[in-house]
Amino acid sequence: MLEVRDLSKSFGGLKAVDGASLDVRRGEIVGLIGPNGAGKTTLFAAIAGFHRPDAGHVAFEGRDITGLAPYKICAAGMVRTFQITQPFAAISVRENIMIGAYLHTGDRRLAEREAEAVASRVGMGGQLDQNGADLTVAGRKRLELARALATGPRLLLLDEVMAGLNPTEIGEIVEVIRDIRAAGVTILLIEHVMQAVTSLAERVYVLNQGRMIAEGTPAEIASDPGVIEAYLGHGAAKVLRA
């Protein structure tokens, strides 16, 4: 469904993403993990059209979408959320989600109904009239999800929707993500919360310093020496020796 080949993106002298490839098949939940600064968000941004890649290509459902504008990629059925939440602060949750719903309809009532339906899917049914600015971190993460979902995507790119949440909230959002997949949406997610990744994703990619260093089931990844090295590094080796 999504095919990323040898994607590279540099900022000045820094190679943020260096020849990364990945595949997402229809119906999967795929995790993308990696230490801080590994280039995960940059890779996401390059896939979703926010950065034009320096090299490599991205194909979505067999169609080359490399460097296409984000709004076109969204209209094609692939939408991203932001790690740093970007709510429309001065308008209500309902209006926030309606912006997503307006992608496929110009009718206000229809968009409103759609927004309310999506809100209850992500557990925001009771917060429709709150302003975007007044949400808690958990609320903002859900709003990111809801807005993206309202555009009716076939592939959802989730950038750390669980960062900053407490265990209860994480449990809730894991359920929400499962439901979304059950409804037929394929999901690629960046995540730091390992417990969530292992419980959600069938396959995991590991990015380190811009390079894809491993791919496999969560169990395979957890025992991969290269991955352990990348995460724990020399300091940990010393601790283990002591």
Partner 1 sequence: MNVPSSWRVPLLATGIAAALAYPLLVPNYLVTVGMLVFFTAFIGQSWNIAGGFAGQTSFGHVVFFGTGAYTSTILQVTYGWNPWLAWPVAMAAGGAVGWMIAVLSFRAGLKGSYFALITLAFAEVFRILANSVPFTRGGLGMLIKADPRPENFQFRDPIWIYYLAFVLCAVSILIAWQLTRSRFGARLVAIRENEDAARALGIDVFAEKVKVLTLSGAMCAAGGTFYAQKYLYIDPSIAFGVDKSVEMLLVSMVGGAGTVFGPLIGSVALTGINEGTRWLAGIVPALKNVQPLSLVVYGLMLILIVARLPDGLMGLFRRRPKAVPRA
Among 90, 183, 240, 242, binds partner 1 (CB under 8 A): 90
Whether residue 176 contacts residue 29, with contact meaning beta carbons closer than 8 Å, is answered with no
Long-range contacts of 116-123 (CB under 8 A, 24+ apart): 118/146, 118/149, 118/150, 119/93, 119/94, 119/146, 121/146, 121/149, 121/176, 121/179, 121/180, 122/146, 122/149, 122/176, 123/172, 123/176
Asked if 117 is part of the footprint of partner 1 (rule: CB under 8 A), the reply reads: no
Question: Residue 78 CB, nearest distance to partner 1 (Å)?
Answer: 10
Nearer Cβ to partner 1 (91/228): 91
Question: Residue 49 CB, nearest distance to partner 1 (Å)?
Answer: 8
Nearer Cβ to partner 1 (75/228): 75
Asked if 148 is part of the footprint of partner 1 (rule: CB under 8 A), the reply reads: yes
Binding mask 165-204 for partner 1 (x = CB under 8 A): ----------------------------------------
Nearer Cβ to partner 1 (157/206): 157
Whether residue 187 contacts residue 2, with contact meaning beta carbons closer than 8 Å, is answered with no
Work out the number of other CB atoms within 10 angstroms of the CB of residue 11. 11
Binding piece for partner 1, criterion CB under 8 A, among 28-36, 57-65, 94-102, 181-189: 94-102
Asked if 219 is part of the footprint of partner 1 (rule: CB under 8 A), the reply reads: no
Axis-axis angle for helices 108-121, 137-150 (nearest 10): 130
Asked if 127 is part of the footprint of partner 1 (rule: CB under 8 A), the reply reads: no
